[in-house]
Amino acid sequence: MKAIPAKETRKLLFTPIIENNPIALQILGICSALAVTVKMDVTLIMCIALTSVITLSNFFISLIRHYIPDSIRIIVQMTIISSLVIIVDELLKAYAYEASKELSVFVGLIITNCIVMGRAEAYAMKNPPIKSMLDGFGNGLGYSFVLLVVATVREIFGNGTFFGVQVMPESYQVNNFLLLPPSSFIIIGIMIWVIRSFSKSQVEEDENPLKAHTFKPLTVKKEVQSG
Amino acid sequence: MNKLIIPLVACIVCAIIVSVTAVSVRPEQNLNVENEKKVKILAAAGIKTDKVDEEFSKIKTVFVDFETDKLVTIDSAYDHIKAASNPDLSTLIPKADDIAVLKRRENIGTIYIWIDEKNAIEKLVLPIRGYGLWGTLYGYLSLDSDLNTVRGIEYYDHKETPGLGGEVDNPNWKSDWYGKRIYNDDGSVGLYVTKGASSTDYEIDGISGATLTTNGVSNMIKYWLGDNGYGPIIKNLNEEIKRI
């Protein structure tokens, strides 16, 4: 097995954070970004869970990629991904019970997370195991980056705390809207805006541009009145 | 051929790994669940603490025989939830009485009691359960020393919809239970979850969008505090406590 050049390793690990972020550019995996970003500690556990699942699933899928029959590849991928998710879920229930209760179904929903499926299908099926593993880890970092930023904003301004420690002054009136899931939409939207204003290449071409005004106002013919 | 062998091998390997993990972490998980129950029992009685075991050791756990409505002494490792599914240790509830949809009720129930220096009841916690919308809700109801006033309610396991029926875990809703009365003057259970806001001491605020769950809650209160549940023992608990 050839060693992967440092430059490529760096590219695999860090491009998914800003340049090719799975949430901000590909708009995948939004569901859990809305649901589990109220508290930092819970978010952090979710990020660790997803990153470990995507890293390992990419590795194992890539390992057997030549043996997976093409017609049933999704099912085989799902088998591996869901086994990993169940293992993570069981471990959380045993060693991080409080967090696992707050994450409830969202750990199980990693199975259907588009990022995990997407990387398995788009990368791990075509690339060797170590590279796939790095790619999975990088995408996990990209996902975690967005979630942690969203959770930071939501916890500090929605609850006045950070990792459960009071950071805002007592007089601060908490913004309850930030505790509701739709607020993440707005925060992710602002993040996408900021990222795209720095890296113009991410700006999508306008597929349906507004056409110029073609409506002609009705003109009423003035009847010449014979006097 | 490949199409059969690869999925088969993948399934078997995954199944083995998953089951080995599940079995090996089961003891830790059970420990967490037991601890969670203790935390909920304490929370129902209004005690919030980090020293769960220390607080829990102050509780006297007593067992009640639902047939004779007397306190009995049995092995303290008894689990009434397990007993309820064991035909030797439980009885089938007649359909007409089974308002909480339990099917079977254990023959011997558990009560957690705080006893003060004068050997009188300070407060107590009763395990309750009943069917909501998607499954059985398991919880604890805490009563004050007069055995007629609610101190609190906590559910430790349920399958209700998050945001709707799952709001039984909402602290605001749970706080509405504090100080509510249970028995009417004629001795029947008067406490129930109403629709909309509560207006009397016998009503609990309804939860919007969770009528079936709250009906389940009302029914389990009615069943467990009624004549087929803890009702008769509650009425002479003070004498019974002195007897044992």
Q: What is the mean pLDDT of residues B82-95?
A: 90
Query: What residues of chain A lie within 8 A of the CB of B28, using their CB?
Result: 94-95
Q: Do residues B237 and B115 lie in contact, with contact meaning Cβ atoms separated by under 8 Å?
A: no
Going by C-beta distance under 8 Å and a sequence separation of 6 or more, which residues neighbour residue B168? B137, B139, B155, B158, B160, B174, B207, B210, B213, B217
Query: What residues of chain B lie within 8 A of the CB of A97, using their CB?
Result: 29, 32, 35-36
Q: pLDDT tier at A46 (50, 70, 90 boundaries)?
A: very high
pLDDT tens, position by position, A93-118: 999 888 888 887 889 889 988 899 99
CA A163 to each of CA A40, A103, A154, A167, B65: distance values in angstroms, whole numbers, following the listed order: 5, 16, 11, 10, 47
Q: Which residue in B has a C-alpha nearest to residue A105's C-alpha?
A: B162
Query: What residues of chain B lie within 8 A of the CB of A87, using their CB?
Result: 17-18, 21
Backbone torsions φ then ψ of B149, nearest 5 degrees: -120, 135
Q: Per mean pLDDT, which range of A29-43, A45-59, A76-90 is the poorest?
A: A29-43
CB contact under 8 A, A91 and B25: yes
Kind plus residue range of the DSSP H or E element containing B193:
strand B192-193
Whole-angstrom distance, CA of residue A210 vs CA of residue A227: 48
A90 CB within 8 Å of a chain B CB: yes
Number of helices (H), then strands (E), in chain B: 7, 10
Whole-number pLDDT of residue A225 = 61
Query: What residues of chain B lie within 8 A of the CB of A71, using their CB?
Result: 3
Shortest Cα–Cα distance, B109 to chain A (Å): 28
Which member of A79, A87, A93 has the closest CB to residue B29?
A93
pLDDT tens, position by position, B15-37: 999 999 999 999 999 999 889 89
Q: Do residues A137 and A9 lie in contact, with contact meaning Cβ atoms separated by under 8 Å?
A: no
Interface A-B: count of C-beta contacts within 8 A: 53
Shortest Cα–Cα distance, B33 to chain A (Å): 9
pTM exceeds 0.95: no
pLDDT tens, position by position, B90-136: 999 998 889 989 999 999 999 999 988 888 889 999 999 999 999 99
Give residue ranges of B with CB < 8 Å to any A CB. Answer: 2-3, 6-7, 10-11, 14-15, 17-18, 21-22, 25, 28-29, 32, 35-36, 162
CB contact under 8 A, B3 and A69: yes
Whole-angstrom distance, CA of residue B210 vs CA of residue B213: 5
Kind plus residue range of the DSSP H or E element containing A175:
none
Tokens of B58: 């102050």
B115 forms beta bridges with B121
Q: Do residues B123 and B143 lie in contact, with contact meaning Cβ atoms separated by under 8 Å?
A: yes
Query: What residues of chain B lie within 8 A of the CB of A105, using their CB?
Result: 162
Which member of A64, A76, A94 has the closest CB to residue B29?
A94
Q: Do residues B223 and B125 lie in contact, with contact meaning Cβ atoms separated by under 8 Å?
A: no
Host domain of residue B128: 44-243
CB contact under 8 A, A93 and B17: no
A104 CB within 8 Å of a chain B CB: yes
Which member of A72, A83, A97 has the closest CB to residue B18?
A83
Question: Beta strand B108-115 with B150-157: parallel, antiparallel or unpaired?
Answer: unpaired
Q: Is the pLDDT of residue A56 over 90?
A: yes
Q: Is B118 exposed, middle or buried (0-12, 13-18, 19+ CB in 10 A)?
A: exposed
Task: Put residue B114 in one of left, alpha, beta given phi > 0 → left and psi -120 to 50 → alpha.
Answer: beta
Whole-number pLDDT of residue A214 = 72
Interface test with A, best of B4, B5, B12, B14 (most A CBs within 10 A): B14
Which member of B3, B17, B36 has the closest CB to residue A83?
B17
Query: What residues of chain A lie within 8 A of the CB of B162, using their CB?
Result: 104-105
Tokens of A208: 């349906």
- What percent of chain A clears pLDDT 70, i.e. is strictly above it? 95
A152 CB within 8 Å of a chain B CB: no
Q: Is residue B91 part of a domain?
A: yes
Kind plus residue range of the DSSP H or E element containing A162:
strand A161-162
pLDDT tens, position by position, A141-159: 999 999 999 999 999 998 8
Tokens of A90: 């069981």
Tokens of A48: 């660790």
CA A17 to each of CA A10, A140, A145, B77: distance values in angstroms, whole numbers, following the listed order: 11, 9, 7, 53
A83 CB within 8 Å of a chain B CB: yes
What 3-state class would DSSP assign to A52?
helix
Tokens of B116: 């003060």
Whole-angstrom distance, CA of residue B193 vs CA of residue B176: 10
What 3-state class would DSSP assign to B151?
strand
| Residue A71 CA, distance from chain mean position | 28
| Of A226 and B158, the one with more pLDDT | B158
Query: How many domains is chain B partitioned into structurally?
Result: 1
Shortest Cα–Cα distance, B50 to chain A (Å): 13
Complex ipTM over 0.95: no
Query: What residues of chain A lie within 8 A of the CB of B35, using their CB?
Result: 97
Give percent helix, percent strand, percent coil of chain B, each to the nearest 5: 35, 25, 40
Question: Beta strand B203-204 with B192-193: parallel, antiparallel or unpaired?
Answer: parallel
Whole-angstrom distance, CA of residue A65 vs CA of residue A124: 8
pLDDT tens, position by position, B212-237: 999 999 999 999 999 889 999 988 88
Which member of B18, B35, B162 has the closest CB to residue A87?
B18
CB contact under 8 A, B10 and A90: no
Mean pLDDT of all residues belonging to chain A:
88
Q: Per mean pLDDT, which range of A215-224, B63-72, B135-144, B153-162 is the poorest?
A: A215-224
B130 forms beta bridges with B137
